[in-house]
Amino acid sequence: MRDEGDLVIRGGTVVSPEGTRRTDLRIRHGTVVAMESQLTQASTLDREIDATGLYIFPGLIDAHVHLNEPGRADWEGFTTGTMSLAAGGVTTFFDMPLNSTPPVTDRSHFEEKRKVAEAKSFIDYGLWGGLIPGNTEELTELSQCGAIGFKAFMTDAGTDDFPAVDNDSLWAGMDIAARLGAVVAVHAESSWITRRLTESFLSQGRVSARDYEASRPVVSELEAVERALAIARLTGCRLHVVHASSADVVRRIRAAREAGVDVSVETCPHYLSLTVADLEELGGVAKCAPPLRGRDEVEALWQAVRAGLVDTVGSDHSPCPPSMKEDPEGNLFRVWGGISGAQTALNVLLEEGYHRRGVPLETLTALTATNPAKRFGLYPRKGTIAPGSDADLVLVELGTPWALRREDLYYRHPHSPFIGRTFRGKILATLLRGKPVYWDPSLNKLMREFGSGRFPDKPFGRFVAGQHG
């Protein structure tokens, strides 16, 4: 096989949790092999990107994505889903076990999804297994197949085929997960609190955005988190609480960690940027669970991020056809809960965090790449830019303001609560193991070609099949 030469990326500023620094990068066979200023061109086969003025982030690791294939590919499939992720700077994602059907609750369903992912994913991936009542016997096999961990819902998931766990089934599952050394991720909302409040609001005909928010209050998250923490403590299971909507939840989890529980916490870009007022204005497209909160919660969550209390940010991309986001009577309780956010996570964090609130780039990289890589066993191959790591890179022009248009979105159904918003920071290219999986047309101006090594002309040319994390 002809040697393809190296890729040299010159003049960029590389971001890591420890700091940012100006350095050239040399990439060989998909791996970063050297980082120093003024790397020389070693061979006429080398290709070069002039990244002067650009910031280079480790590719994002989005540990919380719901693609709907197999079974509900009309909602979102691996092709459009991973195109969107790549356009958003994500180079590795973990797909959730539900919303596709059958849900990934045993080995055969795992293999079925894995086949689809292998054939279609533009980026690297891992698969979560599901923990539901009655499938504890399947967890060991799921783990042997390579499941990244197990996801459980403590309240209704919104699909009939993925029932919520009760305390007993969560305990049984976490007991086995502890023995396997696997992480259990919980959607922590209290089923009895949300059910009781929902019934009460509906019986009074209260179906507005603010009613929906009030039907799933922060205390419902706290109650479920408390039980999950108790079971984690009893079993010794590693716990990951997904999509905390409030700094109170984050602080409670941190306190448990300080008391010795092996627990981490995720939040999502929408909780760091949107409020219940946006839900009121935009309707179903901004509905999620837990719901968007008030402005004070957004600010408090950013303070928690700044203080290093949040471990990871995941998109919780949970797409659906637009018809499922509308109700003829405007009843928000009836529409699908889930925000399409796979493509915009880094943009939201850069605008809302770095530009508006001065949150360091180092912090944003820790949340989106380094910490998920560490928590889920991919570090240091992924989650950092260092000699020996995969060349999973995002090239960003940090200052350029641009407004998100519907046609910019690669989703199967291009709806998003962020359409029309202005972001500073444009993703110019995403490289997976040294190969471009996405680039902005303007990048062609920055590339110099040598010899016969060249970049193809079309974005999303398939160079490498996604590889299991």
Ligand X SMILES: NC(=O)N[C@H]1NC(=O)NC1=O
Q: Give the footprint of Zn ion on this chain (CB under 5 A).
A: 316
99 belongs to the binding site for ligand X (CB under 6 A): yes
Contact indicator for 73, 31 with CB cutoff of 8 Å: no
Q: Is 66 annotated among the ligand-binding residues?
A: yes
Of residues 247, 288, 361, 373, which one binds ligand X by CB under 6 A? 288
289 binds, among ligand X, Zn ion, none (CB under 5 to 8 A by kind): ligand X
Q: Which of 343, 414, 280 has its CA nearest to residue 88?
A: 343
Which one of 82, 215, 273, 318 is in contact with ligand X (CB under 6 A)?
A: 318
* Residue 64 labelled as part of a binding site: yes
Residue 237: contacted member of Zn ion, ligand X, none (CB under 5 to 8 Å, by partner type): none
- C-alpha 26/C-alpha 14 separation (Å) is 13
Integer Cα distance of 192 and 190 in angstroms: 6
By CB under 6 A, is residue 265 in contact with ligand X? Answer: no
243 vs 433 by CB, closer to Zn ion = 243
Strand order from edge to edge, sheet including 13-16 = 19-22, 13-16, 55-58, 393-403, 422-432, 435-439
Q: Which is closer to Zn ion, CB of 48 or CB of 95?
A: 95
User: Taking contact as CB under 6 A, which single stretch among the options 38-46, 155-163, 364-372, 427-435 is the one that binds ligand X?
Assistant: 155-163
Asked if 154 is part of the footprint of ligand X (rule: CB under 6 A), the reply reads no
Q: How far is the CB of 335 from ligand X (least distance, A)?
A: 11
Smallest distance from the beta carbon of 96 to ligand X, in angstroms?
7
Separation between Cα atoms, residue 75 and residue 68, nearest integer Å = 6
Q: How far apart are CA 195 and CA 251, in angstroms?
A: 25
Taking CB within 5 to 8 Å according to partner kind, which of ligand X, Zn ion, none is near residue 288?
A: ligand X
Beta carbon nearer to ligand X, 34 or 419:
419
Q: Tell me which residue of 426, 447, 343 sits closest to 54, measured CA to CA.
A: 426
24 annotated ligand binder: no
The nearest distance, CB 347 to ligand X, in angstroms, is: 19
Per-residue contact string for residues 340-359; x = within reach of ligand X by CB under 6 A: --------------------
In this chain, which of 17, 89, 103, 338 binds ligand X, going by CB under 6 A?
338
Spatial distance between the Cα atoms of 244 and 254, rounded to a whole number of angstroms: 12
Amino acid of residue 389: S
**Which residue minimizes CB distance to ligand X?**
288
Asked if 30 touches ligand X (CB under 6 A), the answer is no
- Using CA atoms, how far apart are residues 367 and 384, in angstroms rounded to an integer? 12
Torsion of CA 309, 315, 318, 323, to 10 degrees: 110
Residue 95 assigned ligand-binding role:
no
Contact pick of 10, 114, 187, 382 for ligand X (by CB under 6 A): 187
446 binds, among Zn ion, ligand X, none (CB under 5 to 8 A by kind): none
Which residues have CB under 8 Å from 438's CB, separation 6+?
83, 86, 87, 427, 429, 430, 459, 460
Q: Any contact of residue 337 with ligand X (CB under 6 A)?
A: yes
CB of 284 to ligand X, least distance (A): 11
Beta-carbon count within 10 A of 400 CB: 12
CA distances from 243 to 64, 163, 185, 295, 367 (A): 9, 19, 10, 17, 13
Instruction: Report helix, strand or coil for 220.
Output: helix
- Of 31 and 331, the one with the shorter C-beta distance to ligand X is 331
Which residue's CB is nearer to ligand X, number 244 or number 393? Answer: 244
Q: Least distance from C-beta 62 to ligand X, angstroms? A: 14
Query: How many residues line the site for ligand X (CB under 6 A)?
Result: 13
Per-position x/- string for 55-94, each x denoting binding to ligand X as judged by CB under 6 A, each - no binding: -----------x----------------------------
- Residue 158, contacted partner among ligand X, Zn ion, none, CB below 5-8 A by kind: ligand X
Q: Is 267 in the site for ligand X (CB under 6 A)?
A: no
Q: Which residue has the tokens 């004070």?
A: 296
Beta-carbon contacts of 115 under 8 Å, excluding residues fewer than 6 positions away, are: none
Please, are residues 315 and 268 in contact by the beta-carbon 8 Å criterion? yes
Query: Can you read off the two tokens belonging to residue 164?
Result: 């919520």
Q: What is the dihedral of CA 116, 317, 364, 433, to 10 degrees?
A: 20
Q: How far is the CB of 187 from ligand X (least distance, A)?
A: 5
Q: Is 187 annotated to bind ligand? A: yes
Q: CA quadruple 111, 113, 119, 124: dihedral positive or negative?
A: negative
| Residue 81 Cβ vs ligand X, minimum distance, rounded to whole Å | 13
Question: Which parts are annotated binding residues?
Answer: 64, 66, 151, 187, 243, 316
Binding site for ligand X (CB under 6 A): 66, 98-99, 157-159, 187, 288-289, 316, 318, 337-338
Question: Which parts are annotated binding residues for Zn(2+)?
Answer: 64, 66, 151, 187, 243, 316
